[in-house]
């Protein structure tokens, strides 16, 4: 069984804002051979809300604190995040194909500086568990996804 527990999180100051909203329970259960032979997708898993009034920004994601039972070799890719849509007219470098997450920052998108009257833009993502193969070891698996906002 693979269990992912997450909470909504945000960070902000007067000019910058990022918030991650969970739109559903983020659990992957492996209970049959089919679960280890094909992708499992949580549709509309999370929303990233972004505001940047000071300057352009880029949003990244990476796996953080991945724990798994002894004897398991993490396949690559293991977990992917997949953009589905957004309400921004200021994005660029938007990666629309599924992005394999690992321990290094992976660019999701860049956002141009926003007008001062704007609130924030929302980006919607699916979460995909790639087939862990028959090398899967029984036990508990957990990880965090770390999202970062950077500015030039």
pLDDT digits (tens, 9 = 90+) for 129-145: 887 777 778 888 888 89
Query: In the chain, what are the domain boundaries?
Result: 2-150
Q: What percent of the chain has pLDDT over 90?
A: 39
**Model confidence band, residue 17 (pLDDT cutoffs 50, 70, 90):** confident
**Model confidence band, residue 11 (pLDDT cutoffs 50, 70, 90):** low
Q: What percent of the chain has pLDDT over 70?
A: 89
**pLDDT over 60 (residue 5):** no
Mean pLDDT taken over the chain:
84
**C-beta neighbour count of 15 within 10 angstroms:** 15
Q: Check: CB of residue 135 under 8 Å from CB of residue 73.
A: yes
The pair of structure tokens assigned to 7 is 């909470």
At 35, give phi and psi (nearest 5°). Answer: -70, -20
Does CATH number 1.10.10 belong to domain 2-150? no
pLDDT at 4: 45
Plot region of 65 (φ>0 → left; ψ -120 to 50 → alpha; else → beta): left
Mean pLDDT score, 88-101: 94
DSSP state of 102: -
Respond yes or no on whether the N-terminal peptide bond of residue 77 is cis (omega within 30° of 0): yes
Picking from 2-11, 26-35, 114-123, which range would have the lowest pLDDT averaged per residue? Answer: 2-11
What's the whole-model pTM score?
A: 0.87
d(CA 85, CA 28): 23
pLDDT at 9: 52
Residue with tokens 């990233």: 48
Which residues partner with 3 through β-bridges? 27
d(CA 44, CA 23): 6
């Amino acid at each position: 069984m693979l269990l992912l527990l997450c909470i909504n999180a945000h960070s902000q100051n007067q000019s910058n804002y990022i918030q991650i909203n969970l739109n559903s329970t983020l659990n992957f259960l492996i209970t049959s051979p089919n679960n280890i032979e094909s992708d499992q997708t949580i549709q509309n898993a999370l929303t990233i809300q972004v505001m940047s009034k000071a300057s352009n920004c880029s949003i990244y994601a990476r796996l953080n604190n991945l724990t798994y039972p002894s004897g398991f070799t993490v396949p690559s890719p293991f977990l992917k995040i997949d953009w589905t849509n957004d309400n921004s007219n200021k994005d660029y470098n938007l990666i629309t194909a599924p992005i394999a997450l690992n321990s290094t920052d992976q660019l999701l998108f860049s956002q141009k500086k926003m007008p001062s009257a704007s609130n924030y833009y929302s980006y919607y993502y699916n979460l995909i568990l790639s087939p862990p193969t028959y090398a899967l070891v029984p036990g508990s698996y957990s990880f965090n996804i770390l999202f970062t906002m950077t500015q030039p």
